[in-house]
Amino acid sequence: MTQPTVDHRTGVAAVTAGVLLSASVAAELVWTVQRPDGTVTNTPGFALYLVTWTAGAVALVTALLGLGSVLGPLPRAGRIGRGTALAGAVLLVGFGLVGLVTGLAGGAPAEWSFLLFAVGLLLMLVAAVPLALGLRRVGGLGRWWVAVLVAGAGALVALGAAVDPWHDLGLFVCFGAWAALGLRLLVRGRDRQHLAPAP
């Protein structure tokens, strides 16, 4: 697989993750499908939101897997950060799946599923600094490695805010930063494709 193709795949995954995860959060703000106690009031809407969330989290896992090779081998700190972020993204996938299954089966998502969400975001926060510094060291992104720090800051706000709109704003910042990083990778892949010698 050529390097521009890896750039493209990883970039598309990061953009998809940011868009789908943000869309899931935004849709719930516009159209509420649960009561404050968690009871599902609109089953199709609830399922759509969580399927969208889960697909976005899977895309984030794909993007993080790609970051392990797209810019070249990461230094040790970067590998630790990527591994930690990957574990967090997997927990976000689990949150979506568990919430969907238990919500459809029991009329409300299991309360413990939110632990997966919280720990997943916490791991994304912890991973931000070592992953960003690893990306900075390996080069190839210009100053766009800062997007990972911005994503971590968004996760911090989302975890620390007890009330809306700050919680949701933190999530939008976190996911939007991943989409921005994905766009940078797409531009990088396009530029490298143009510079590649003709066969």
pLDDT in tens, 169-178: 999 999 999 9
Question: Residue with structure tokens 């530029």?
Answer: 191
Please give the residue range of the domain that contains residue 14. 3-33+41-195
Count of other CB atoms within 10 angstroms of residue 39: 12
Total domain count for the chain?
1
pTM for this structure? Answer: 0.92
The pLDDT assigned to 7 comes to 80
Whether residue 73 has a cis bond before it, omega within 30° of 0: no
Backbone angles phi and psi of 2, in degrees to 5: -75, 160
Contact at 8 Å (CB) between 91 and 69? no
Instruction: Assess contact for 33 and 46: CB atoms under 8 A.
Output: yes
Report residues of the chain scoring pLDDT below 70.
1-4, 191-199
